Amino acid sequence: MELTGHADDSEELAQAGSRSLSPALAGFLEGWQPRQRRTAGFQAMLFNRLDTLARAHPEWDGYDLLTHALGALHLIIENDRLTGGHTREQIVDELAGLVALERPDDGPGRHHEIAAAVVDLLLNARGRHTRLSQPYMRVGRDGAVDHPQLTLRLVQTTGEEDAATPVLRPTPEAINIFQNLFEFDPSDRAAAERYRSERMLQRRDYDEVLSSVERRSTSIHGLRADLERMLRRISYNVRDVDYAGEVIPRLDEAMSLIGEQVDAEEKFAATVAEHVHDDAPDLPRLQRIIERLQQLIRSLTGLHRITASFKLEFEAQQDRQLFTYRRMTISPQAEIVEPLLGVTPAQMITLMEAPLAAWMGVRPPRVASLRALIDRIAPGRRDTGTGPDADPFELGAARDPAEDFDPALAEAADRILGAITQPCSLSEILSGLAARPEFSEQLEPRQQALLPWVLAVTVASTYGSTDRGEPGTGPAAPAEAHLKVLRTGGAFDDGTVAGDDLLLIPAVSRQAAP
């Protein structure tokens, strides 16, 4: 699309062209679209026709027609430059060699047929060697849209009137397309923009100069994004990046490109500065151009700094990435979910139980808290509020009975403690166990080993306790309930139990018992 006339202000165009067109799109129509549509249109015409050719010949499936078209263009350009041009037949014969290389098993007839078709496509032989054409959208200054034809000739036939066969010659557009496909580089575009700016500056078309500088600023965003992507990949997984083979060459290229651009922009800024003097026709605009140029130079030097930091970043990331990212090569949908749907529940649990617990990460470490324990086990507060009275028969949820000792062990401990008739210390009881096998002979070896510990805990739990339970309820009071336990102040350690030694004094009633 191309603008006819010249809109002074993109907002004006936005209003004139379409009520809903944003200023950004209006700017696109004014500054970008005419040139981009032309370049893209030229390429599209070539590619569309190649596509049509491929569809018309399904038997050629497997041949890379685009490569052969570019090869033909290369031959035409090179032969024109070196030899003054080749005829169609010469180009076709030479190109057939490349086609044959791709699928040598097909016959030479087919190779020749394909080469000829490709060269004829460049010549638009089916269209009587006319220009290729394509309608495109063009918006006028008043917002009116029309569709003129964009036309292109890639190869033309030239020669003397009396020459038997003409020779092929590429058009400037064909050379540009070919060249730009090879070297589509931000630095070239910037150079072209600068060239354009200089011309505009000479013509004192400062608006154009300003928009050109802005376009150059935009174009370096692409390079910046590239570099940042690479940096991100390094920080993502340093092993994933081929530092010597990929990063270094890319950095070298970027450094030289940025360096050249900085030099060129500085020179251009100096040229602009020459135009700045008191009687310059439009001093404010010139100053704005210089301001923008300085911004551009700052962006470029910032980019230079990023590039220079790569080595340091790479080394830092190498140090850091002790935990190396491993690139996923598994498709979660096809390789995880779908197979898992087919397993049985038991298999799923076997497969997933442990990995899913690990997947959850860590569980915050729990530290035992007496306060939390009390809160958890203490009875709830009585509701003394103004609400309805609580049901006195509601006992609440039943609690699990507390875990008790092994009954056999508890019974043995009870027998031992019940047999005490004279005050004695805990350490004496424990050391005397071996001499009284009758107390532990009914126990298994495992239980015998636990007996000292059970005794110690039972006695220790009686120490200081005044709670004898409610009379008349529950089972008979245990033997230790009739013992008074005092601290002796000493300590003991018999190898299985250690701690404060305790003195056990049997109560009077127990003493009186037979």
Partner 1 sequence: MDGIDAGRLIAFATDMTAAPGDSGERAEYARLTGKYLSDAAFRMLVDDILEGVGCQVTDADPRAGLVLLSRPDGPWAWPAQSGDLPWNKKTLTQGERACRMLVIPALLAYIAPSAADFDDLASDPALRPADVPVRELERFIRDFAEQREADSSGPPGEDPPVWWHWLQMQQEAPTPGQQRSSRSDTAYLVYEMLEFLHRQHLLIKVRDAPARESMYRPRRRILAHYRDLLVDDLFASLRQFASEQGTRLRPSAAVDDMAAKG
Nearer to partner 1, 354 or 378 (CB): 354
Kindly state the DSSP code that residue 496 receives in the 8-state scheme: S
Work out whether 402 is an interface residue with partner 1 (CB under 8 A): no
CA gap 308, 260 in Å, rounded: 15
Among 192, 276, 356, 477, the residue binding partner 1 under the rule CB under 8 A is 356
Site string for partner 1, 310-329 (x = CB under 8 A): ------x--xx-xx-xxxxx
State the minimum distance, in angstroms, from the CB of residue 350 to partner 1: 8
Work out whether 277 is an interface residue with partner 1 (CB under 8 A): no
User: Dihedral sign, CA of 20, 23, 25, 26?
Assistant: positive
Contacts of 173 (CB under 8 A, 6+ apart): 42, 152, 153, 154
Work out whether 360 is an interface residue with partner 1 (CB under 8 A): yes
- Of 300, 308, 287, the C-alpha closest to 217 is 300
Q: Which residues sit opposite 132 in a β-bridge?
A: 152
Please state whether 347 falls in left (phi above 0), alpha (psi between -120 and 50) or beta. alpha
Nearer to partner 1, 228 or 291 (CB): 228
Cα distances (angstroms) measured from residue 51 to each of 55, 67, 109, 130, 132 = 6, 13, 22, 19, 15
Nearer to partner 1, 287 or 324 (CB): 324
Gyration radius of the chain over CA positions: 47
Nearest-10 Cα torsion for 281, 283, 286, 291: 180
State the minimum distance, in angstroms, from the CB of residue 225 to partner 1: 11
Among 6, 19, 277, 363, the residue binding partner 1 under the rule CB under 8 A is 363
Helix (H) / strand (E) containing 165: none
State the minimum distance, in angstroms, from the CB of residue 321 to partner 1: 9
Name the phi and psi angles at 50, rounded to 5.
-65, -40
Nearer to partner 1, 46 or 241 (CB): 241
Among 101, 164, 244, 358, the residue binding partner 1 under the rule CB under 8 A is 358
Total chain residues near partner 1 (CB under 8 A): 48
Site string for partner 1, 170-209 (x = CB under 8 A): ----------------------------------------
Contact, 149 vs 134, CB < 8 A?
yes
Work out whether 309 is an interface residue with partner 1 (CB under 8 A): no
State the minimum distance, in angstroms, from the CB of residue 333 to partner 1: 4
Q: Where do we find the tokens 């490569």? A: 67
Nearer to partner 1, 329 or 473 (CB): 329
- Give the distance from CA 142 to its chain's centroid: 46
Task: Please give the structure tokens belonging to residue 304.
Answer: 């230079």
Among 101, 164, 312, 354, the residue binding partner 1 under the rule CB under 8 A is 354
Work out whether 364 is an interface residue with partner 1 (CB under 8 A): yes
Side-chain half-sphere exposure of 4, counting CA atoms within 13 A: 11
Work out whether 372 is an interface residue with partner 1 (CB under 8 A): no
Task: Please give the structure tokens belonging to residue 394.
Answer: 């509601």
Task: Please give the structure tokens belonging to residue 303.
Answer: 């980019």
State the minimum distance, in angstroms, from the CB of residue 232 to partner 1: 7
Nearer to partner 1, 277 or 327 (CB): 327
Q: Where do we find the tokens 């809109």? A: 7
- Of 422, 507, 405, 419, the C-alpha closest to 461 is 405
Region 204-233 residues binding partner 1, contact defined as CB under 8 A: 232-233
Work out whether 368 is an interface residue with partner 1 (CB under 8 A): no
CA gap 502, 33 in Å, rounded: 98
Site string for partner 1, 329-348 (x = CB under 8 A): xxxxxxxxxxxxxxxxxxxx
Work out whether 236 is an interface residue with partner 1 (CB under 8 A): yes
Work out whether 56 is an interface residue with partner 1 (CB under 8 A): no
| Binding segment toward partner 1, per CB under 8 A, in 86-94, 140-148, 184-192, 352-360 | 352-360
Which spans of this chain sit near partner 1 (rule: CB under 8 A)?
232-233, 236, 316, 319-320, 322-323, 325-349, 351-365
